[in-house]
A = this chain, B = another copy of it.
């Protein structure tokens, strides 16, 4: 405990590992994870940790094979394909079990022209550059519903299939619908938070949890 030097700043825990331990204990005490696969609990605890909301678990849907598929893909060196630079930036590189590549194609110079041609967002157009990497990859979509819709369209059209899709776009227009479409798709291993919640921090928490799990 860091002791106060003045009345304006209270005593606080300043030991990083102890903060993690206490946080995870609070989450496991308060969150109801019983409807989720047993091997997904560590994952959901870190997703909750990223957003401060234990009721996130109630909106979370994880396909039964998703966590094992992600661990196996990551241990085997699969790349992590991210829709947003913030997602790519947040992934803790030392957690990755095989020096996995973390890829975000959003700022590729070809993307604006491709978005205009396809009449879609830059984030969705950036996915076309994933094609050579998509087979067996870990896909982490934490920002744009259009990216998740585009992924499903590409797979419908015969694109290679990723090992698992983290479908966690956030927001008010299309986010809920894109996540429902992924969960209903049927043949893709997936991690979804239904509704409006999601985002890059939660997606990073999920990738980091899966990477740590793959190291074990």
Residues of A within 8 A of B (CB): 2, 5-6, 8-10, 12-16, 19, 22-23, 26-27, 49-53, 85-86, 89-90, 119-122, 124, 145-146, 149, 152-153, 156-157, 170-175, 177-178, 181, 184-185, 195-201, 204
Q: How far is the CA of A123 from the CA of B172 in the complex (A)?
A: 33
Given A153-B5, A200-B200, verify A172-B49 contact (CB < 8 Å). yes
CA distance A179 to B10 in the complex (A): 11
Q: Which residues of B contact A177 (CB under 8 A)?
A: 10, 12
Does B146 lie within 8 Å of A14, measured CB to CB?
A: yes
User: What is the distance, in angstroms, from A149's C-beta to the closest C-beta of chain B?
Assistant: 5
List of B residues within 8 angstroms of A196 by Cβ: 52-53
Chain B, residue nearest A145 (CB):
B12
Cβ–Cβ contact A51 & B178, under 8 A: no
Give the number of times this chain occurs in the complex, counting copies.
2
Pull 29 A–B residue pairs with CB atoms less than 8 Å apart, ordered by A: A2-B119, A2-B146, A2-B149, A8-B185, A9-B149, A9-B153, A9-B156, A10-B177, A12-B146, A13-B146, A13-B173, A14-B119, A14-B149, A16-B121, A26-B173, A49-B171, A50-B199, A51-B170, A52-B170, A52-B195, A52-B196, A52-B197, A52-B198, A53-B197, A85-B90, A89-B89, A89-B90, A199-B201, A201-B201
* Minimum CB distance partner of A25 in chain B: B172
